[in-house]
Structure 1
Amino acid sequence: MSYFKHHVFFCCNQRPEGEDCCASRGSVELQTYAKDRIAALGLKGQGKVRINKAGCLDRCDDGPVLVVYPDNVWYTAIDKSDVDEIISEHLQNGRIVERLKI
């Protein structure tokens, strides 16, 4: 069995100025928000959810990008409400958020 039920990686890669990337689209702030929400909801820890930063996930055109393992589901999250929906629907209730899936 996996140590975490879900392991979520947010691309937080920062490319040189002028080059589009997830970090320039707000991914670092969204990752911090997700981490705080998971903790506030009591979903953090062994057997639960882990939120991590990742380097480039090579999906810049779809960013900000995150991936949920072990489900191997890739999402784009534009704002905090998208993150809330992914947490509520996918991480808490096991339902993939089709509108955000890439």
Structure 2
Amino acid sequence: MKDPKGRTVVGFEKHIFICENLREGEHPRGCCSEKGGAEIRLRFKQEIIEQGLVGKVRANKAGCLDFCEQGPTVVVYPEAIWYRISDPEKDIPDIIREHCKEGKIVERCRIQL
């Protein structure tokens, strides 16, 4: 079957999942939704467009990624590198450029346990 978008391979070079989980009430761990998860996902989508990676990199919302205290959290596949977004205006362009385009991990954003 021919792909309506003209794709020749299934999937994306990079797939970014952004936590948008919402917890009811005053949960002690917090939640990424209240920390701007939806806005961060939209910013990732915009950055993908601006850096010319449409069709190569995809950003999708995710449910709980279970690192709520570190949130908002993001994971980039296929490498399974986990990031926290503390400064969206700096972190998001850097993750798209350095990780998705150049293949380098953005260590200052990486979740460390």
Correspondence list, 1:1-102, <5 A? 3-19=11-27, 20-45=30-55, 48-78=56-86, 79-102=88-111
Instruction: Give me the whole-angstrom Cα distance separating, in 2, the residues matched to 1:18 and 1:6.
Output: 34
Runs of 4+ in 1 over 4 A off after TM superposition: none
- Which consecutive unaligned segments of at least 5 residues does structure 2 have? 1-8
TM norm structure 2: 0.83
Bigger mean CA deviation after superposition, 6-15 or 34-43: 34-43
**Helix, strand or coil at the partner of 1:24:** coil
Bigger mean CA deviation after superposition, 11-20 or 70-79: 11-20
- Which consecutive unaligned segments of at least 5 residues does structure 1 have? none
Percent identical residues = 45
Do 1:90 and 1:96's aligned partners in 2 also have CA atoms closer than 8 Å? yes
Q: Point out which structure has higher relative CO (alpha carbons under 8 A, 6+ apart).
A: 1
CA RMSD of aligned residues (A): 1.3
1:62-102 Cα distance to aligned partner (Å, 9 max, x none): 10000000011000012221111111110111000111111
Instruction: Give me the whole-angstrom Cα distance separating, in 2, the residues matched to 1:35 and 1:23.
Output: 17
TM norm structure 1: 0.91
Higher share in helix: 1
